[in-house]
Amino acid sequence: MLQQLRPAITIFVLLTLVTGVAYPLVTTGLAKALFPQQADGSLILRNGQLVGSSLIGQSFTDPKYFWSRPSATGPMAYNGSASSGSNLGPTNPVFLDTVKGRVAALKAAHPDQTGAVPQDLVTASASGLDPHISPAAAQYQLNRVAKARQLSSDQISELITQATSGKQWGILGEASVNVLQLNLALDQIEKTKK
């Protein structure tokens, strides 16, 4: 029995050192050397202050900001340590009531919009943390933001265009707008206006 126990313990210790110590240190070191911004969480700093991450959505409710996609994380919205979807199917009555409520709230906040509310403004992403909205969702909010900031629609539209990222490698996914970066650009315009 001792003859079998010694190799088992040796392999256990060796694999623990390789997979539990060496591998994480090497991959973390390579990530920090090759992709320092991403390895640190894609954090966004303004004037030395941390304002968020370009990878995690934030709640914006002020009319002068573009609003993010709803979050399904709990117990608080946009909780990076609780990434999850709602797991409610499209025919679930709770899901349907939630979406109807969000549609009504958006229509009340955007009385000049007569078209359909973009889907990404009323449904959460699978992670519940999506920091992006579609260009259509940004355009839907354009007039409200322009009015609240007393800026022209053309100025806001130009910012949306600048903040829009195309498909990855030109073929994967859809065009998207990072809400935090767009709102920071709006704040920067307001600072230069004063």
Specify whether the CB–CB gap between 133 and 93 falls below 8 A: no
- Give the C-alpha separation, 20 to 15, whole Å: 7
**CA dist., res. 84 & res. 78, Å (int):** 10
35 vs 14: CA distance, rounded Å:
29
The answer to whether residues 124 and 86 touch, using CB atoms and an 8 Å cutoff, is yes
- Mean pLDDT, range 102-114, rounded to an integer: 88
Based on the number of CB atoms within 10 Å of its own CB, is 15 exposed (0-12), middle (13-18) or buried (19 or more)? Answer: exposed
Check residue 10 and give its pLDDT. Answer: 92
pLDDT tens, 122-164? 888 877 788 889 999 999 999 999 998 888 889 889 999 988 8
Rounded percentage of the chain residues whose pLDDT exceeds 70: 97
- The C-alpha atoms of residue 32 and residue 162 are separated, in whole angstroms, by 28
Residue pair 151/192 in contact by the 8 Å Cβ criterion: no
Q: What is the DSSP letter of 128?
A: S
- Read off the pLDDT of residues 28-55 as tens digits, 9 standing for 90 and up: 999 999 988 888 877 787 888 887 877 8
163 vs 139: CA distance, rounded Å: 12
Q: How far is CA 43 from CA 2, 24, 76, 80, 156, in A?
A: 52, 21, 20, 13, 24
